[in-house]
Amino acid sequence: MAVEIPVDKWTGKIRELKFGGGGRKEVIIGGASTLPYLKFEGEPCNPTRVAITIHDCEPPYPPGLLSAWGDVVKDPSEWAKKAVEIGADIICLRLTSAHPETANTGAVEAKATVDKVLSAVDVPLIVLGPGVAEKDNEVLMAVSETAKGQRIALGNCEEKNYKTIAAVAISDGHIAIAKTPLDINLAKQLNVLVSDVGVPMDSIIMDPDTGALGYGIEYGYSINERLRLAALMGDSMCQIPIINHAGPETWRQKEARAAEGVPAEWGSLDERAVIWEELTAIACINSGADLLVMNHPKAVEMIKATIGKLSA
Amino acid sequence: MSKYIATRALRGAQAVVKEAEDALNAAMQSPGPDAKIELPMTAYYLPTIYGMLGHKVEKISDLQWVVDYCKTIVSPTPADNLWTPYLGETLDAGMATLFAEEVIEGIGYAKGERPQSKNGYTYNGAIDDVQMRTWGVALVDGRMTGFAAILGRAKNDEVAVKIVRELQAKGQLCFFTGDPNDGGDFITDQLLNQGVELGYDTYTVPLGNNTHSTIYAAGFATRAAISFGGFEPGDARRNLFYNKFRCFAFALALGPIDDLKYATAAGAINYGFPVIADTLIPNISPVGVTQYEHVVSMPFDDIPGANDMERAERLVEKCIEVRGIKLKITKVPIPVSYGAAFEGEVVRRADLRAEMGGKRGMCFEWLSMAGMDEIEDHKIELIGPDLDVAPAGTKTPMAIRVKIAGRKMQIDFEGVLERQIHHFLNGAEGIQHQGQRDISWIRIHNSAVEKGFRITDLGEILYACFKNEYGAIIDKIEMTFYTEEETVAKMMEEARAVYRERNERTAGLTDDSVDLFYSCTLCQSFAPTHVCVINPERVGLCGAYSWLDCKAAYEINPHGGNQPVPKGTCLSEEKGEWEGVNQFVNANTQQAIERFTVYSLMDAPMTTCGCCECVMSILPEANGVMVISRDDYSNSPSGMTFTQLMGIMGGGAQTPGMMGLGKTYISSDKFISFEGGIKRLVWLSKNLKEEFADQLQAAAEKVGVPDLIDKICDGDIAQDSDGMVAFLTEKGHPALSMDPMM
């Protein structure tokens, strides 16, 4: 007996968002008109893209992750090159050294790092500040100017601090990342606020936040899914592509850090940590992520294979 | 529109366009038509011309088109016998003036005669793109509140310095221009005389030695709008709107105003920048092109104030107000710490330095709306003894009198704002506040007074908090604290009359008297298909948001969780069903809820999030409804406790026969009016019965059953169905003989 697959009809569509240009490789994300990868419901859209995290200084990674990258972690341009070899569609550069509690570097250093990374690779860039409002604004203003015309993404715009980043993004033609802490109302509201400052709707990507597997992935899943459902039902302020930091979230958790034998049932650390990252990322894809940020080379390989199968 | 101003501006425009034409003709001879025109480091050519007209000026000959265009938009001056609106003509003349000034300044650059200098001081001249970007970002993100273009000369050097210092303190960028006609020294000279450091770093930029150089300020605004507004050069309409709504600039004309200044001011008005003059000129008060008044005259010597310094302060305050600039206060300036951490703090008797209100005390808070000109912003006064002289162990009588003025202030917001006093004052370390109106009770800790805390500091707290959180509706706050018993006692009676009047007004605010309800979607983070529709006669189900609260919240944050819901066509008056409400609910519940009645429990009742103060449920055996409150842990005749009932209906479900509600809804005229109202109430939590005894009694009398409350069962009488029915039967509860509910 033939099984009839129930098909939902959606009126809304996620906006397409273009990274790069101006001599840089272009990467387009978004465009979905169905829940993720339900090809029988609508036109296939751009596949989920994978960005790889790099830092502007050697990050406090656990040994397994650090050794997977090797010496390149000491040099952001080398690190970026290696990330592209491994398959990064986009590089996600974190200006960790600008944090007041680390090296407290400023605009000059940030500009220099971004210039180096931009000339080392030809894929688009995401640049994230250290997460301290004042410093974010200082370094991202400089970064924005130096990358003018190459359409990178700048983050994070947050509820309490979005105007400066939004302003330079408009002025220099970049993408603004709107980040909210696991709250659908705030996610939508921040999209409204950022666009109200003047950022075009096709230059916003939203980071509704997620937790790693076992650390709130169900919240992240639910927020992604509801944003996506609202978007497909026609809410234009939710029709914005989603970025999820599956990698960084995973590597904060003890399952990715605790040594072997504590407890013994947890098995091999390397294997465990990479699978943890992969499963977190798969949950993000299933709930609507358009762009994943990953950390471990092996996890990137696995998740790209999964995306390949989903898109086939 | 003032004919006087129109005439002067048109005359000024005609003259300056002629001046530009003459300058152009001369420049065509030398340095010649192909001579380059370049302002320093800019990609925007002559930015006002490029931004407004989309015309690129790269060489002298490119100016011909501009001059010709100017001539087409300048009208003749109005005839003596003609009294028509001149606004359009004056605005066009203003734009022509700006273009002509830019032509003249551009030629100046081509000839190497710019930037100007005087007595060895070189003016800034044109603003480069790097600086434009830095300031532009600051304007967008709010670090810079706006800019002031100051023309002419202040009354004296000291006044000039005071005006600029006040503007700097308010985060305004200041541009200065003057004209040889200003009588020798103009504001730049006045500031230099006083040793004021001028330049980009101090936000004080002298543009030039003529009125024409004011164009550089317009050029900055025009470019910033293109750069941060995301539209193309030549899109004049969007550029002007962007400046009106986002660039909080104004022109301040000091001293006599000649035709060219009038014409330049007319140019500024196109951008939505109002003009304030310290001399006697006609006002242009109606709003329109600018957000508030277009032209405000404030003759300097007539400004109220003890001396010139105070007058200068008032003048700047007026500028800020007319442009609608909202300032944030980053730190509450009091001698003790301030923050959420101190909100729950209790001041014990042993630590008590002063106490107001409470048992046998006298303390009240009275906030009212005042006219913009009736009060003085940030005036905080104490009349009577202060904390440090209060005799220990006694009660200090106190009246807190707050007056608020604001362009968007409404009388309905008085109560909403007054209720914030509790929350605001509690944030200070060593201050405990309870209650509101005439039952407020304040305790102040010994250590706070030792650190220097005084009664006017209560005012500083309120000032900062009101301005920061309600800046959208508040422009001015004046506060007086009274601590003399006789005065306080007398004022208390006045205040009570106001409270009574306010109560009556709120009672008179009915669903039928408004066209708009408000939504509350704050709970959608966990209940995605729940929307509270809040009407005057039903508070939000959490009890925290009334219709007035929502109205104020929407004024303050138009993108927030409280949105207006137009009622639209009425589908059923009895059930309280409106087309507009249905549409709003449908669109905001992911289409999960299609219909929504406001007055019915049985047909499409409101959904419930999880925050409701009470739950209502049908009890078929009694042909009525029960209401149990969140703080009643007992069982109910439905066989379920509050928590169990919530488990069924929370999370955004629409459950006919069950609904969450705020406590005050029970005594509302619109309490499930479709099913028969309060007469259906057969069981009520004991604590609610006690807390709302008066209101319930009044509601019972209104429906003609004065002994109704005694017939309603509660948890002390029965917590089971049989016991309740026996009680209702014995008392003869009216619900038993009403039409069946199902």
**What average pLDDT does the segment A112-125 reach?**
97
Q: Is B652 on the interface with A (CB under 8 A)?
A: no
Q: Are residues B649 and B679 in the same domain?
A: yes
Stronger pLDDT, A202 or B82, i.e. the higher one: A202
d(CA B636, CA B615): 11
> What pLDDT score does B1 carry?
58
Residue A4 lies in a domain: no
Give yes or no for A195 touching B (CB within 8 A): no
Q: Are residues B445 and B481 in the same domain?
A: yes
Q: Give the pLDDT score at B84.
A: 64
Residues B103 and B139 in one domain: no
Report the gap between the CA of A86 and the closest CA in chain B (Å).
37
pLDDT the model gives residue B362:
93
| CATH number of the domain where residue B483 is located | 3.30.1650.10
CATH (domain of A174): 3.20.20.20
**Do B224 and B173 sit in the same domain of this protein?**
yes
Query: How many domains is chain A built from?
Result: 1
Domain that holds residue A27: 16-311
Classify residue A191: in a domain, yes or no.
yes
Does residue A3 lie in a domain region? no
Nearest by CB to B590, which of A137, A189, A229?
A229
Strands (E), B127-221: 146-152, 172-177, 204-208
- Given this model, what pLDDT does residue B419 score? 86
Which residue of B lies nearest to A172 if distances are taken between CA atoms? B227
Partner residues linked to B151 by β-bridges: B177, B253
Q: Do B74 and B129 fall into the same domain?
A: no
Partners of residue A137 in chain B, C-beta under 8 Å = 141
Beta strands in B86-222 (DSSP E): 117-118, 121-122, 146-152, 172-177, 204-208
Nearest to B137 among A167, A183, A193 (CB): A167
B742 occurs within a structural domain? no
A166-170, A300-304, B78-82, B169-173: least confidently modelled range = B78-82
In a domain, A2, yes or no: no
> Among candidates B270, B209, B207, B199, which has minimal Cα distance to B48?
B270
Per the domain annotation, does A234 fall within a domain? yes
Q: How many domains does chain B have?
A: 4
Chain A residue with CA closest to B523: the answer is A185
Report the 3 state secondary structure along chain A.
CCCCCCCCCCCCCCCEEEEEECCEEEEEEECCCCCCCCCCCCCCCCCCEEEEEEECCCCCCCHHHHHHHHHHHHCHHHHHHHHHHHCCCEEEEECHHHCCCCCCCCHHHHHHHHHHHHHHCCCCEEEECCCCHHHHHHHHHHHHHHCCCCCCEEEEEECCECHHHHHHHHHHCCEEEEECCCCHHHHHHHHHHHHHHCCCHHHEEEECCCCCCCCCHHHHHHHHHHHHHHHHCCCHHHCCCEEECHHHHHCCCHHHCCCCCCCHHHCCHHHHHHHHHHHHHHHHHHHCCCEEEECCHHHHHHHHHHHHHHHC
B460 in the same domain as B377:
yes
Q: What stretches in chain B show pLDDT beneath 50?
A: none
If asked whether residues B661 and B715 sit together in one domain, one would say: yes
Cβ contact A189–B560 (<8 Å): yes
Residue B253 covered by a domain: yes
- Predicted confidence (pLDDT) per residue in B526-559, tens digit: 777 899 999 999 998 988 888 988 998 888 878 7
Mean pLDDT over all residues of chain A? 94
CA dist list (Å): B360 to A41, B198, B495, B516, B607: 73, 60, 18, 43, 45
Query: A11 to chain B: which residues are within 8 Å by CB?
Result: none
> Domain for residue A9, yes or no?
no
Q: Indicate whether B482 and B439 sit together in one domain.
A: yes
Share of chain A above pLDDT 90, in %: 79
Domain of B250, in residue numbers: 120-322
Provide, as residue numbers in chain B, all residues whose Cβ is less than 8 Å from the Cβ of A185. 521-522, 524-525, 561
Reported ipTM: the value is: 0.83
Domain check: are B677 and B586 in the same one? yes
Asked if residue B39 and residue B127 are part of one domain, the reply reads: no
The answer to whether residue B330 is domain-embedded is no
CATH number of the domain enclosing B44:
1.10.8.190
Residue B285 sits at the chain A interface (C-beta within 8 Å): no
CATH number for the domain that contains residue B162: 3.40.50.2030
| B538 plus B642 within the same structural domain | yes
pLDDT at B83: 63
pLDDT at A205 over 70: yes
Q: Are B676 and B721 found together in one domain? A: yes
